Amino acid sequence: MTHLKKYWPLHLMVLPSLLFLIAFSYLPMGGIVMAFQNFKPRLGITGSEWVGLDNFRFLFEREDSIQVIWNTLLIAMLKIIFNLIAPFTFAIFLNEVRKELFKRYVQTMVYLPHFLSWVLLGGILLNVLSTDGGFVNRILESVGFDAIPFLMDGSWFRFTVVASDIWKEFGYGAIVFLAALSNVNPSLYEAAEVDGASRLKQTLHITIPAMLPITIVVGTLALGNVLNAGFDQIFNLYNPLVYDSGDILDTFVYRTGIIGGNMGFATAIGLFKSVISMVLIFISYRAAYKWANYRIF
């Protein structure tokens, strides 16, 4: 009681976000029951027919479901890995830049794309990457290469998706790493210099170890996205020619759930994704604790 009396402002401060969390994260969870129903809007959650695991069975009965899941995993994994490596490396390089003005300029420039929507970028990429007079292909052709069908060939499509996502997000991702770097005690570098360590040695033994904890946090949290390959992006870029390598769970849910009106099925896939993500976060959290001796929560 005395505790509450003393700290009530703190409790009050946490109240809005608690309410928010309950209203927007916990209450809607009731909708999960739709995953086990043949949901019809007119009948509602209480009136719709229960179909058990039919919606899940339907996901795995589709002839292309393995491929869709594989596409999702592959694209998402590539994004996770490179979205960790690119900002990490970029932050180290940027940290070595001594000119403050240049550093800031670069930093702002690279994180700007983060604020553009994929609807916009989709249109731009379609033009820039066109094999028919697109800017990128015109450069390739002028130095003697063949035009590359970035958006019409399956394997190139994956490359395009991953590369454009990295380009869009790495600047933003680098912010956390740069923040971690600014926390490194300068005396460590001074001491290393006195001991005769080169810049490379300083990076290897001071900078990188200082960044490891935050890298583990970012990496662990990112694993939760292992089934999120990026709906906005793929939806705006894909076409029938690259269905084989570009169709992912989310576009598939969109077509059946939203366009086809099959809400129960869409919810089932959502639940399936959440469960997998939760398991992965759990495992990676344990692993981070066990091997890196690092606790996130």
Site residues (vs other proteins, CB under 8 A): 1-4, 15, 18-19, 22-23, 27, 40-42, 44, 58, 62-64, 119, 126, 130-132, 151-152, 235-236, 239-241, 243-244, 247, 252, 255-256, 258-263
DSSP-based three-state secondary structure for 281 = helix
Residue 130 Cβ, how far from other proteins at the closest point, in Å? 6
Q: Closer to other proteins at the Cβ: 2 or 293? A: 2
Residue 193 CB, nearest approach to other proteins (Å): 52
Of the candidates 224, 117, 107, the residue with the CA atom closest to the CA atom of residue 172: 107
Q: Which of 213, 218, 223, 215 is nearest to 293 (CA)?
A: 213
Q: Which is nearer to other proteins, 42 or 99 (CB)?
A: 42
> What is the C-alpha to C-alpha distance for residues 28 and 144, in angstroms, rounded to an integer?
56
Residue pair 176/218 in contact by the 8 Å Cβ criterion: yes
Judge whether 253 and 264 are in contact, CB under 8 Å: no
Write down the least CB distance from residue 158 to other proteins, Å.
Answer: 16
Between 181 and 268, name the residue whose CB sits nearer to other proteins. Answer: 268
Q: Which is nearer to other proteins, 56 or 189 (CB)?
A: 56
Query: Rounded distance, CA 88 to CA 215, Å?
Result: 8
- Least separation in angstroms between residue 2's CB and other proteins is 7
- Give CA–CA dist 37/58, Å, rounded: 13
Q: Find the shortest distance in angstroms from Cβ 204 to other proteins.
A: 46
Where does residue 165 fall: left (phi above 0), alpha (psi -120 to 50 degrees), or beta otherwise?
Answer: alpha
Give 144 or 240: the residue with its C-beta nearer to other proteins: 240
- What are the structure tokens assigned to 238, written together? 């894909």
Residue closer to other proteins by CB (options 3, 98) is 3
Beta pairing partners, 38: 49
Q: How far is the CB of 172 from other proteins (least distance, A)?
A: 24
Report how far residue 256's alpha carbon sits from residue 62's, in angstroms, rounded to the nearest whole number: 12
Q: For residue 140, what are its two tokens?
A: 């390739």
